[in-house]
A and B are shown apart, each in its own frame.
Chain A
Amino acid sequence: MPGAKQAELPDEVLQHPVSRELLADPERAWEPFDSRAHWDRRLAAHALRRAGFGGTWAELQEAVRIGPQKLVDRLWTDFGSGTLDEVRFQRMERTFLSVGSVESMRGVWVLRMLHGRQPLVERMVLFWHDHFATSLAKVQRLDYMHRQIDLFRRYERGEVVCEGGKRHSFETLLRAVSRDPAMLVWLDGNSNRRAAPNENYARELMELFTLGIGNYTEKDIKEAARAFTGWFVRRDQFFFAPYEHDDGVKTVLGETGNWNGDDVIRILLNQPAASRFLPSKLYRYFISDIDPIPESLIEPLADGFRTSGFDTRWLVDRIVRSRVFFSPIAYRRKVSSPIDFVVGTVRRLEPVRTYPNYLAQVISRLGLSLYEPPSVAGWDEGLAWISTQTLLQRARFVRELTRAQGGMFDGAVRPYALCRRYGMSAKNAAFQFYVNLFLDGRLSEEVLAKLRAAYEEAASSGTERMDRALRGLIVALCTQPEYQLV
């Protein structure tokens, strides 16, 4: 076991007996979390934050009731208080595409996260948008962008099937992405000609999509670029132009033949680096993006991913159902992204109106502009989400969201009505409700004591007074360092 690497995990993670046990036996660490043990509201909330977009109080109770494994099943297929279905979403998307409104398209996307019934599918759509980061800024075609996102969504729903009938095959996804019009525009496919190969796609395919830097040479990139020559977009579709394709012999990563793009993808996936690359990235996405990845924990995932034939559903399921996922290695060891923060806060508060286009704007202001990743490497995530600028905007947003009147939301959030609806209307119960809803009840004694003192000074009987005290409480909770983690 590479002890030096594991020593980099912070003390409070390492000191916990569960973490130590998991790190001592990496094979067993990824086995499904035993639902009969230690299942409580805290872990259910954790699962809903990571494999969904945060839970309402009612969803939390439901999650506690059905247990972790059943919960993950349902997060893929049908879960929550969302009321909108795929037909409705697609109708909205068609309308907004026809008028070319990127703001409204972002709004529908946010609506899917707020009110959709397949939160884990949406989580993965976001993951792929970041992984195959393509930006409208260069593509300049909203319809192409939507088709790419739709490809990710269909892939996750099992509607992208390869010849052998296999679903969720990373190889199939790579083949589809390599032919995707938005990607072809984004990485200069139309400029990749036999006489003058453009290496933009070949480079990012290796560096960012499959292997990671350091696992190929500049020569490999040049040769692979030749294999993708003649892969163009024509009339809004993928088009193979044989007269622009270099069908000569290429040597990519030591394999020689007259390869085309699909051959290159196969060769890349045969590299040992390929079986580790995606698992490591998903580890950062689902387990922790602030702590170093213990190498020993990646090994079993990489082995399984390869053995499964690069089945990404197997991989994601393995991760989100695991003992690691529900352990201190993962709990609150990830930075709340702009989407976690905005969508999660809104979902918890169940406002009577949500203004999805406005929420999408706020999410952009916090650093995550949907359809417009900053570069082909996607968003940096982790602590990169955090700056004076973004924390200030986060605080402003919560203030705006919870205003009793005026502003965009104009009293759409009714804190006292919400806790009363769940039967917690007494002064003390209301306080506890919000501390549980936002922070699993977990704050240091000192912070809790001060928070309670400030709350009690402000709270007294009467709906209006209670509402005002609770609005202050929510803002105070959401500006705490702990709430910037999920």
Chain B
Amino acid sequence: MFTSRRDFLKQSTLLAVGSTIPVFLRQSAATLASTRPRGDRVLVVIQLTGGNDGLNTVVPYGDELYARYRRVLRIPKRRVLKIDDYHGLHPAMTGMHELLGQGRLAIVQGVGYPNPSRSHFRSMDIWHTASTAAELPRYGWLGRVVDRPGFVQTGRIPGAFVGGQELPLALRARRSVPVIGSLEQFRLEMEAELKRTATELVAVPRQDPVLQFLQRTTLDSFTVADQLDRLVGPEKSAVRYPSTPLAQKLRIIARIISAGLGTRIFYTSIDGFDTHSRQAPQHQRLLQELSDAVAAFTNDLAVRGELDRVLVMTFSEFGRRVAENGSAGTDHGTAEPMFLVGGQVNAGLVGNHPPLDDLVDGDLKFHTDFRQVYATVLEDWLGVPSEPVLMDRYEKVPLFRG
């Protein structure tokens, strides 16, 4: 059962086990060994987990109602990083403010969806599936993208979740999508012969769909480990990244992008935005982590000559109430701003700040459905028709130049 060991077999676990591997997998391994990927456009999604306080992120400092609603938490006019004479960024976001000046940051304001849920889990599910239906779709919106035939060249890994353990619903797909905790951990460290035996056994066809999923994921994990091993060489980035978790995750993504694995969707997250009490120091730290990490990532990609084909998009499951609560924090709210960063974005503010004198139940009124943003990114950035992915048509928003 042990196929003869030749040098070329070392290239890929899947090639190594020959005839027992399903044909599509073997083909893909062969393709990978032989071709360079196209310079396809890449989407990097950063999830702000917990519900980001949009009002203290993109601050409507020019509105006197802002100071009235935020007696404790308000950011004084002299400290905001001004965008215009009404809007400013949180003072911790110097990196993002510079990106704005460089024409690399677009801010979509007032994003939400009808009948908003204030449950973290329900609202996150809605953003992940792009569906407000009571019965959740089985796959995420990005999962439906990676499942599309031809989205990437055969044999390429279409999407990956970086820096965590559990695949987010947004990326859940018919196919298995890799989760890469860190490059150091993503190694098998098993003798070649043992690995071949195990792989050959795993590759024996199974009938049950659950076993098939486990089988695919196991084979994928062995293959991806091989690919990362070969393609991700020693670090040669000229840009210094902060030592924060988010920055380190983005650094991995930058390395994979420039290593040419051909992956087009990356997903990562930063947690801690559920600031019910004593919000200010926590929120400051998080926004700084976000802003500095995105700035370093953008600069790194620019140096590597990859920035024009990369788009970063941030979102949170909801914004927070307009009025602060009694514990110097904020409770779950609705509309929020989204950030889009890249070499080709239509920089500046997209849409108005939701008016502070026209609230529903103490919450901001959204004017842009998040699925309009998704639809625009799908069609104008990834080149994927949005209707089959979002299961409906949404009017696009002007996110990109030209």
Most buried by B among A10, A199, A391, A476: A391
B19 interfacial by beta-carbon distance below 8 Å: no
A203 and B119 in contact (CB under 8 A), knowing A395-B198, A457-B2?
yes
| Cα–Cα distance between A353 and B210 once the two chains are bound (Å) | 35
* A to B contact number (C-beta, < 8 Å): 162
With most chain B CB atoms within 10 A of its CB, the pick from A188, A191, A395, A444 is: A395
B300 adjacent to chain A (CB < 8 Å): no
- The residue in chain B whose Cβ has the minimal distance to the Cβ of A393 is B185
A391 to B188, CA, bound (A): 10
Which residues of chain A come closer than 8 Å to B198, judged between CB atoms?
A: 395, 475-476, 479
Give chain A residues whose Cβ lies under 8 Å from the Cβ of B9.
Answer: none
Whole-angstrom distance between the Cβ of A329 and the nearest chain B Cβ: 14
Q: Cα distance A10–B206 when bound, in Å?
A: 14
Interface string of B211-243 (1 = CB under 8 A from A): 111110110111011000000000000000000
B165 touches A366 (CB 8 A): yes
- Per-residue B-contact encoding for A468-483, CB less than 8 Å = 1, 0 else: 0000100110011110
Q: Is B118 an interface residue (CB 8 A)?
A: yes
Let me know if A475 and B190 touch, CB within 8 A: yes
- Considering only CB atoms, which chain B residue lies closest to A478 in the complex? B198
**Chain B interface residue number, banded:** 35 or more
Q: Does B8 contact A (CB under 8 A)?
A: no
Q: How far is the CB of A258 from chain B (nearest CB, A)?
A: 21
B176 within 8 A of A: yes
- On whether the beta carbons of A188 and B276 are closer than 8 Å, the reply is yes
Residues of chain B contacted by A428 (CB below 8 angstroms): none
Query: How far apart are A383's CB and chain B's nearest CB, in angstroms?
Result: 7
- Chain A interface residue count, CB cutoff 8 Å, equals 57
A450 contacts chain B at the CB level, 8 A cutoff: yes
What's the Cα separation between A191 and B222 when bound, in Å? Answer: 49
> Whole-angstrom distance between the alpha carbons of A393 and B225 in the complex?
11
Main secondary structure, interface of A, reads helix
A196 near B325: Cβ-Cβ < 8 Å:
yes
Whose C-beta in chain A lies nearest to the C-beta of B211? A481
Q: How far is the CA of A454 from the CA of B194 in the complex (A)?
A: 10
Query: Which of chain A's residues have a CB closer than 8 A to the CB of B210?
Result: 10, 290, 383, 485
Contact B120–A12 (Cβ < 8 Å): no
Partner of B194 from A290, A380, A476 at Cβ < 8 Å: A476
Distance A203 CA – B122 CA, assembled complex (angstroms)? 13
Contacts A389-B181, A481-B202 supplied; 10 other A-B pairs, CB < 8 Å: A200-B276, A377-B121, A387-B178, A387-B179, A391-B221, A392-B185, A392-B221, A476-B194, A476-B201, A479-B198
17 pairs, A vs B, C-beta closer than 8 Å? A10-B208, A188-B276, A198-B331, A200-B276, A200-B331, A290-B210, A383-B213, A387-B221, A388-B178, A388-B224, A389-B165, A392-B188, A396-B190, A399-B189, A399-B190, A450-B1, A450-B201
Interface residues of B (CB under 8 A from A): 1-2, 117-122, 134, 161, 164-167, 176, 178-181, 185-190, 194, 197-198, 200-202, 204, 206-215, 217-218, 220-222, 224-225, 276-277, 325-327, 329, 331
Residues of A within 8 A of B (CB): 10, 12, 188, 190-191, 193, 195-200, 203, 207, 213-214, 218, 290, 365-367, 374-377, 380, 383-393, 395-396, 399, 444, 446-447, 450-451, 453-454, 457, 472, 475-476, 479-482, 484-485
